[in-house]
Chain A
Amino acid sequence: MASDRMIGARIRARRFDRGLSQADLAKAAGISASYLNLIEHDKRRIGGRVLAAVADALGTDPHRLSEGAGPRLIRALMAAAAATESDPPPEIDQIERLAADLPGWTALIAAQSDRIAALEARIAAMGDRMAHDPALSASVHDVLSMVTAIRSSAAILVEEELEADWQRRFHRNIDEDSRRLATSAQALAGYLTAGEGAAFDAVSPQEEVEAWCAERGFAISGDMPVEGDLSEGARALLGAVLARAGADASRLPDSALLRGLEDGVDPFALASGTGVDPGLVMRRIATLPRERLGRDVGLVECDGAGAILFRRPTAGFDLPRYGAPCALWPIFQALLVPHGPRHDVVRQFGRDARPAETWCSVALDHPAGYGGPLTARATMLILPGAAEDVPPTLGTTCRLCPRADCPARREAAIL
């Protein structure tokens, strides 16, 4: 056995640790120094009574000497040592001793190393997704091809003495390419936002849950089974989403909801008429099948830090696929004034954006009791196609937003 071959090294390491000579230890264990020497160099097997005596003299258990840290833990420690450079470097020849003396810390090092490796793999996968996403790659390629053609044609027009025919040709080419560039850039922006029911490779549990709900038209209910090819994290999250949908439905059943919607969609009126939280009403509206509501609907929920908890994308009001949303969205304004529910008509920048009614409210809670931390859940219902037209003031996310004078811009636009 591999561990047998390490017994001698473990005994020697322990003996050094305790400042004993071979003669001292041999005498304490009742064996000769020359026999101990053979044992320490793994030239004699040790077991039974002699092992117990040596272990006793070293102040440890026999199994610590015979079994060591176990091959899995040793492999994990070796991997941890190899993964990161340090100065001074880890004492590889002392791994057995480390594991024997400090088993808890050793297990922690191994667990941390495993976790770092898993996180690195995840980061690599996400980077890989951006770098090798075929749709994104094709879209960027289109944009760059158009830019290349325009740049080359424009340079010819500026730098060369051209006959009229050639001038016309290159002007025409620039015109064609600039039109195509506008279309390609729009397609790229469209890709970078999460369109309604957009199919994409979900990476995070939240994306998996959104894709799962999108497949069902967001008509989710508490009695739906958590099924399908989902990660463990997504299963847990979906379970919570479905449980919330079930609890919401029990407080505001379909019959009451549909009756309340007969005169139009007004979540605040419906909430006060039924005595439930406005956010709950909005979630219920957003889980109605489109044919029952008769119009498009979107929903965004975030926590007190502004992190998105749940999204139902809708046409006409884009939600970003990558990056944080526009800070001017009414939901974030509502988050700043939690007791001031909002009803706005807004419009995003973008050719496909439509005026949208948004309804926002924030529910505050003390889940750990008063004195515990305060939590918030802000909800925004989005109803595209508002009758009132308004100029665009909002973006999707800073990187895709053209608004030059935005007071809340976090970073420059890429387009």
Chain B
Amino acid sequence: MTDRQRVLLIEDEPNIIEAIRFVLSRDGWQVATHPEGRGAVEAVRDRMPDVLILDVMLPDRSGYDILADLRADEALRDLPIMVLTARGQSKEREMALEIGADVFMTKPFSNAEMLEAVRALAHRRDTA
């Protein structure tokens, strides 16, 4: 079990969580989830995933604030992070990348595209 790569998904939509969990699990990932902004940073510290998927519009806290907190933590500075958002404007993308996202993915996305991006993030980390 410990050999499987771990992904943490911070997302509040149950059916998006279920679909992403299914797709990643089938690809051999160990998927953990956290459904809200509150406690998200602690969840990342506790689980120390190989890849983090972070929704921006969470009900109680902006994903960008969480992202900034994570990047301010020395231990999490290199954690591969994919940001999911319904806002796809270039301004939004620039902001996400500036704060510290590695990948910016707009909703709706294709499962294959999401899976490919997660694999690429893990590969980048393994070869860094």
Decide: B26 and A160 in contact? CB cutoff 8 A.
yes
Within 8 Å CB of B62, what residues of A?
none
Binary flags per residue of A158-176, CB closer than 8 Å to B gives 1, else 0:
0110000010011001001
Known: A148-B16, A149-B19. A156 touches B111 (CB 8 A): yes
Decide: B23 and A153 in contact? CB cutoff 8 A.
no
The one of A141, A147, A159, A176 in contact with B108, judged by C-beta atoms closer than 8 angstroms, is A147
Q: B92 CB to closest chain A CB, in angstroms?
A: 10
The answer to whether the Cβ of A155 comes within 8 Å of any Cβ in the partner chain is: yes
Known: A144-B108, A159-B111, A173-B18. A149 touches B13 (CB 8 A): yes
Within 8 Å CB of B57, what residues of A?
141
Near A by CB (< 8 A), chain B positions 94-128 give: 107-112
Near A by CB (< 8 A), chain B positions 3-60 give: 13, 15-16, 18-20, 22-23, 26, 57
The answer to whether the Cβ of B86 comes within 8 Å of any Cβ in the partner chain is: yes
The one of A137, A141, A166, A176 in contact with B22, judged by C-beta atoms closer than 8 angstroms, is A166
Decide: A145 and B86 in contact? CB cutoff 8 A.
yes
Within 8 Å CB of A145, what residues of B?
13, 16, 86, 107
Decide: B107 and A173 in contact? CB cutoff 8 A.
no
The one of A137, A147, A153 in contact with B19, judged by C-beta atoms closer than 8 angstroms, is A153
The one of A140, A141, A155, A173 in contact with B111, judged by C-beta atoms closer than 8 angstroms, is A155
Q: A93 CB to closest chain B CB, in angstroms?
A: 38
The answer to whether the Cβ of A177 comes within 8 Å of any Cβ in the partner chain is: yes
What's the dominant secondary structure at chain B's contact region?
helix
Known: A147-B107, A147-B108, A166-B22. A140 touches B15 (CB 8 A): no
The chain B residue with its CB closest to the CB of A142 is B86
Decide: A152 and B23 in contact? CB cutoff 8 A.
yes
The answer to whether the Cβ of A151 comes within 8 Å of any Cβ in the partner chain is: yes
The one of B22, B26, B107, B112 in contact with A148, judged by C-beta atoms closer than 8 angstroms, is B107
Q: A36 CB to closest chain B CB, in angstroms?
A: 57
Q: A17 CB to closest chain B CB, in angstroms?
A: 48
Decide: A156 and B19 in contact? CB cutoff 8 A.
yes
Within 8 Å CB of B112, what residues of A?
155
The one of A144, A151, A153, A173 in contact with B86, judged by C-beta atoms closer than 8 angstroms, is A144
Q: B113 CB to closest chain A CB, in angstroms?
A: 10
Within 8 Å CB of A166, what residues of B?
22
Q: B89 CB to closest chain A CB, in angstroms?
A: 8
Within 8 Å CB of B16, what residues of A?
145, 148-149, 152
Decide: A140 and B19 in contact? CB cutoff 8 A.
no
Q: How far is the CA of A315 from the CA of B75 in the complex (A)?
A: 56
Q: How far is the CA of A296 from the CA of B20 in the complex (A)?
A: 48
Q: B123 CB to closest chain A CB, in angstroms?
A: 22
Near B by CB (< 8 A), chain A positions 174-203 give: 176-177
Q: B21 CB to closest chain A CB, in angstroms?
A: 10
Within 8 Å CB of B20, what residues of A?
152
Q: A159 CB to closest chain B CB, in angstroms?
A: 7
Q: How far is the CA of A365 from the CA of B74 in the complex (A)?
A: 75
Decide: A176 and B23 in contact? CB cutoff 8 A.
no
Near B by CB (< 8 A), chain A positions 102-152 give: 137, 140-141, 144-145, 147-149, 151-152
Within 8 Å CB of A159, what residues of B?
111
Q: B25 CB to closest chain A CB, in angstroms?
A: 11
Within 8 Å CB of A144, what residues of B?
86, 107-108
Within 8 Å CB of B107, what residues of A?
144-145, 147-148
Within 8 Å CB of B26, what residues of A?
160
Q: How far is the CA of A173 from the CA of B19 in the complex (A)?
A: 9
Within 8 Å CB of B23, what residues of A?
152, 156
Within 8 Å CB of B13, what residues of A?
145, 148-149
Q: A303 CB to closest chain B CB, in angstroms?
A: 36
Within 8 Å CB of A155, what residues of B?
110-112
Within 8 Å CB of B87, what residues of A?
137, 141
Q: How far is the CA of A152 from the CA of B23 in the complex (A)?
A: 9
The chain A residue with its CB closest to the CB of B89 is A131
The one of B15, B110, B111 in contact with A176, judged by C-beta atoms closer than 8 angstroms, is B15
Within 8 Å CB of B22, what residues of A?
156, 166, 170
In order of increasing CB-CB distance, the 6 nearest A-B pairs are A152-B19, A144-B86, A149-B15, A148-B108, A148-B107, A173-B15
Residues of B within 8 A of A (CB): 13, 15-16, 18-20, 22-23, 26, 57, 86-87, 107-112
Contacts beyond the supplied A144-B86, A152-B109: 14 A-B pairs with Cβ under 8 Å:
A140-B86, A144-B108, A145-B16, A148-B108, A149-B13, A149-B15, A149-B19, A153-B19, A156-B23, A170-B19, A170-B22, A173-B18, A176-B15, A177-B15
In the assembled complex, 7 residue pairs joining A and B whose CB atoms fall closer than 8 Å, in A order, are A141-B86, A144-B108, A149-B16, A152-B16, A152-B19, A153-B18, A170-B18
